[in-house]
A and B are shown apart, each in its own frame.
Chain A
C-alpha cells in the first residue's frame, strides 16, 4: 500500500463532558472509497469536520495530504472538497449562477473555468438546464450539482457527508457511479452514510458507535468476525421472548432480533441448532424454521456494536 492520504491517530473531540469522537485511528489510501458508518450522533460528521479543518481536535492528530488538520487548516481547504450533510447550494440562484459563484470562490478563470463548467454541467446531467432555479430541481439533480460545485477545483481528497440522504434509489445509484468514476481518477473519497447497500460499495468501511471506532476493514474482512462460527436465523411465534430464551442457551454467542426473526451466533451449526430447538420447545415457543444463513453487513454491525456495548459496560463497572 502506498503512503496513506489521510492518517488519523488517536483523535478525540470533547464538547464539555460529552465525548463526540473517542480515540479514533485509521488510515486511508490514495484512490480509496472509504465509508464512515454509524447512527446519528455516532461521531461521523464531527470526525469529517475535524479532517476538513472546521473543528479543532481536543487531542490526537489528523493529517490530510500531509497537512496537519489543526495547524494547516487554511492550506488544506484549497486541496479538499467537502459536501455538507444538508444540501448547501443557493436555491434562489440558477444552476449556472451557483456554478459561477463557486468557480469564482475557487478562483477559476479562462479556459480552465470553461472546461470545469462544461464538466460540471455534464456530470450532474444538467445540460441545457443552466437557467433553471436550483430550488426547482429534483433532489437527485441537486445532489449531483452540489457534488460538482464541491469538486470544481479538482481536489485530490473529497469528503461527502451523507450525500444521498432523502433521494430515490435510482438517483443514489447514479450518485455512486460518480463516486466510482472519481475514485477511478485517483481521487480519495470519504463518504458517510447509514445505507448498508452503500457501505457495500466502499473499498473499506469504518463503523462508529457512540464516538468510538468499533470495526474497520473491507466488507469481506469485516464478515470474518463470524469465522469459525455459524449464523442461524430462527423464526418463532413469540419472537421477542425467543431472543431472551436463546441468549441463555449453552453455545450461543449472541442472539439479536432482526425484524420478526432472531439471528443467533453459535460455535457449531449442527450442535447449536439442536440445543436451541430443545430450549424453545421447553418453553412452548416452537420455531417454524431454523436456517443457517450467510452473515450480512448488518449482522456484522450488530455484532460489533453489541461487543462495544458489552465492553463499555465492563469498563463502567
Chain B
C-alpha cells in the first residue's frame, strides 16, 4: 500500500463529503438527534401512573395505604370512585391505568391482627407497563406490611427472624433506562452510519462509472478500500464524540471508565461496520439497493438482536443463536461495562475477540469480492 495513493483517495473522499454538507451534517448530527428521540421515547421507566381509588372502608388504615401509593410518586390519584361504582369502567375507558380497591372491613381485619385484603385492578393492554406497575405495587404493599408489623409490636420478632432481604442495585441505582440505552444507541447509530456511508460511497462510483476508470489505473484495491474507509472512520469517531456529549448534556450519562478503552472498542467495532458496508457495496449495483440492504442488515440486528431493546435471554432459542453473529451484541456488553461500571477491557476479552474476528472476516470477504476480476 503506497501512502501517496492512499492519501489521494482519502482526500478525494473528504472533498466529496465536504461538497455535500447536508450529508455530512446528517452523518454528524443525526446520531445526536436520534439519541434525543430514542432517549426520550424509549423510556422504560414508568412514573405517574393514573390511579383511581375505590375506598369502601374509609378508615385511617385504608387512607395510609393510599398515601403510600401516592407518596411514592409512581402513582397519581386521579379519581375517587363511590362504593357502588363499577371499578372496571374507568380502565375500559382508558381514563386510568390502575384502580385500587379497598373493601369494607380492611381496618377491622388489621386491628384484629388478621390479613386484610386490598385489590389492584390493572390495565394489562400494555404488558411492559403493567409489569412494571405490578412490581411497584407489590413493593409498596410489602413496605406497608413491614410498617404495620412494627407498629403492632411484632417488629422485634421480625428483626430477629427470617431473611432480611435488602436488595441494592449497583451502577445504575435508580434503574434509569437512559443510562442503559446510551451504549445501545451508540452501537446502533455507529453501525447504521458507518455501513451506509461506506456502502453508498462505493456504489456511487459504480453507478457513475468512475469505478471502471479507477480499476484501469494502477491504483491497488487495498489503497482504494482503505483510502475510502479512513475518512468515514474519522467521521464516525467524531459522531461518537457528538453522541457522548449529547448523552452527558441531555441525560447526565457520563463515562465512568477510560475514554481510551471506549475509543479502542468503538474503533474495533467501526472497522467491522465499515467492512460490512464494503460487503454490502459489493452486493449492490445501485445506491437505492445499497441503502435498503444496508439499513436492513445493520440497523435491525443492532436494535433487535443486540440486547439493546429486548433482553437476549427472553428471545426464542433460534433467535438467541442468531444474536451470536451480531457484533452489536458484543459491543453493547463492553460499552455498558465501560460507561456504566467504569470497567476496563480485561473482563471483556472474549467479546473483544469476537469483534476482532468479525472485522477480519468481513473485511476479508469484502476485499475478495471487490477485487475479484470479472471473468
Contacts and interface: CB of A to CB of B under 8 A. Distances in A.
Interface of A: 52-56, 73-74, 77-78, 80, 82-93, 97, 100-107, 109, 150, 153
B375 A77 contact: no
B348 interface: no
Contact of A89 (B8, B9, B210, B217): B210
Interface string B240-269: 000000000000000000000000000000
Contacts of A52: 216
Contact of B7 (A90, A92, A102, A104): A104
Contacts of B5: 104-105, 107
A53 B215 CA distance: 9
B16 A93 contact: yes
A84 B213 contact: yes
Nearest to B16: A92
A106 B217 contact: yes
Interface residues of B, number: 26
B212 A92 contact: no
> Main secondary structure on chain B at its contact with chain A?
helix
B313 interface: no
A73 B374 CA distance: 12
B16 A77 contact: no
Contacts of A74: 218
Interface in B154-172: none
A74 B216 CA distance: 9
A3 to B, nearest CB: 24
Nearest to B17: A92
Contacts of B4: 104, 107, 109
Nearest to B220: A74
A201 B142 CA distance: 99
B212 A54 contact: yes
> Main secondary structure on chain A at its contact with chain B?
loop
A105 B217 contact: yes
Nearest to A91: B208
A102 to B, nearest CB: 7
B209 A101 contact: no
B73 to A, nearest CB: 55
A305 to B, nearest CB: 29
Instruction: Give 3 closest A-B pairs by Cβ, nearest first.
Output: A104-B8, A86-B209, A88-B213
A86 B215 CA distance: 14
B3 to A, nearest CB: 10
Contacts of A103: 8
Contacts of B217: 77, 102, 105-106
Interface in B61-112: none
Nearest to B219: A105
A88 B218 contact: no
A18 to B, nearest CB: 14
B19 interface: yes
Nearest to A133: B19
Given A97-B12, A105-B8, A56 B214 contact: no
Contacts of A97: 12, 15
A100 B374 CA distance: 29
Contacts of A105: 5, 8-9, 214, 217-219
Contacts of B219: 105
B8 A101 contact: yes
A93 B9 CA distance: 13
B114 interface: no
A63 B328 CA distance: 50
Nearest to B4: A107
Contacts of B215: 54
A74 B2 CA distance: 15
B212 A88 contact: yes
